[in-house]
Amino acid sequence: MATEFTDANFATEVIASDKPVLVDFWAPWCGPCKMIGPIVEKLSKELAGTVKIGKVNVDDNQAVAAEYGVMSIPTLILFKGGKAVATTQGFQPEPKLRAFIDANK
């Protein structure tokens, strides 16, 4: 299960992580977010040893979304060493999302 990141735990769960972290910025009312959700969940299980994967509900955690300039969702940002190193927006099929992770971790 993908971790739920919040404004309160983002610094410890994402910024301080010793592994690369993929963050899915989403909202319950977003159609493309619902489509990519199961892919994010699947990858979070498959890549659990090498990449931490989690989600930020932008409705409930607006500070983090604003800090990283998330204007449309879904936005997925890969963090490495506490810094945002790559961003992709919109629905991504599993092979494309997996390639995005592999290319940037």
Residue 30: active-site member: yes
Spatial neighbors of 10 by CB under 8 A, at least 6 apart, are 56, 61, 64
Catalytic residue (choose from 14, 21, 23, 30): 30
Catalytic residue (choose from 2, 33, 36, 73): 33
Q: Which of 21, 6, 17 is nearest to 64 (CA)?
A: 6
Spatial neighbors of 64 by CB under 8 A, at least 6 apart, are 5, 6, 7, 10, 56
Residue 33: active-site member: yes
Catalytic residues: 30, 33
